[in-house]
Amino acid sequence: MSSTPAGAARTPTVVLGGTGYVAGELLRLIAGHPHLELRAVMSEGSSGEPLAVAFPHLVSAYPQTCFSALTEVARLLAETPGAALFSAAPHGVSAGLIESLLAASARSGSRARVVDISADFRYPTSEAYAAVYGHAHGAPALLKDFSCALPEHLAELRTAHVGHPGCFATAVLLAAVPLLALGLVEPALYVSGVTGSTGSGRKPVEGTHHPLRHGDLYGYNILAHRHAPEIVACARAASGVEAELAFVPHSGPFARGIHVTVQARLTRTLDGAQARGALQEYYARAPFVRVSERAPHIKEVAASNYAHLSAAANGRTIAVMCAIDNLVKGAAGGAVQWMNRMLSLPETAGLTQPAPGWT
């Protein structure tokens, strides 16, 4: 990664919801980013505690940094023009925090930019959000100020802020949107996906308990996953096509990564080489998407912001496979990619580190 030239200004950066896995990945990426400078990490429950208590692996990057309370962060944003604000706060909490902090920022004219990684700004209306999450939206007046899309699927951002799609949604959309946008398939998608245990969050639950998850593979929320309506909505916005979705998610026996397979009926005869060629052309200007004949492997993308795709077709049916890291491309890395664009930085800034390969 390139370094910032001496004297060059770095964008003051704030992270909300600071003790979770996604927040930890944001902090790791910010530590190596040439244009972002961490100013505060908000966690009411851990206010005053060193970051290294929650994230011992980040002590070399943040040896003295402590978690801040909401009042401290609000004061900082009110005094800091042009800050970058990432929210990794929980669903249902993030919207209210963002609303209060944007109000503090607006009062001083400092105009913070926001990327929210929760689900709070993934739907265009409060009714659509409530239908999926079962409670009222925390800041409905702000919905008009957020777009929800992957950077690869929205050429021009027309809102001040972004709601990043979920990790499963990211993988499915990368595979499915070109098929729909190019009219290659009938609008009925059949998706099978496998996710690592970090997708369940930091708080231990039965689904992440190592003796139960290790060496096992099982489906959950079959045909009823809460990301399904989000995938349909984002696919419609990106492609202009209303698609049906049958989604079967699985829990895999690994910590990080997602692998999805999207199947659909072709509208015209294609072979595998032609299908991969269509994907390559669609993503020709997408620096983090790689399409190849080789089937994607999670180990080749884990801990990176890259997405690997491949496709097979037998004339009437197509299968597109996509592998991403759920915490990076599916969350923190995708959010940094968006913030780079919002700040008119190179889209790849701070994100080109390759996967370690042996996670």
Just list the catalytic residues: 167
SS3 5: coil
Q: Closest by alpha carbon to 29, among 326, 357, 305, 317?
A: 305
Count CB-CB contacts under 10 A for residue 160.
16
HSE-CB at 322 with a 13 A cutoff on CA atoms is 30
H or E stretch including 247? strand 244-251
- DSSP state string for 199-233: GG-SS--GGG-HHHHTT--EE-STT--THHHHHHH
If one counts every other C-beta atom within 10 angstroms of the C-beta of residue 130, the result is 14
Burial track 190-227 (b if 16+ CB lie within 10 A, e otherwise):
bbbbbbbbbbbeeeeeeebeeeebeeeeeeeeeeebeb
CA angle 174, 178, 179 (to 5 degrees): 115
Using alpha carbons only, what angle is made at residue 317 by residues 314 and 323, rounded to the nearest 5 degrees?
95
How is residue 192 annotated by DSSP? Answer: E
Identity of residue 144 = K
Tokens of 205: 């639950």
The contacts found for 283-291 with CB under 8 angstroms, 24 or more apart, are 283/152, 283/178, 283/309, 286/152, 287/347, 287/348, 288/152, 288/329, 288/337, 288/348, 288/351, 289/152, 289/174
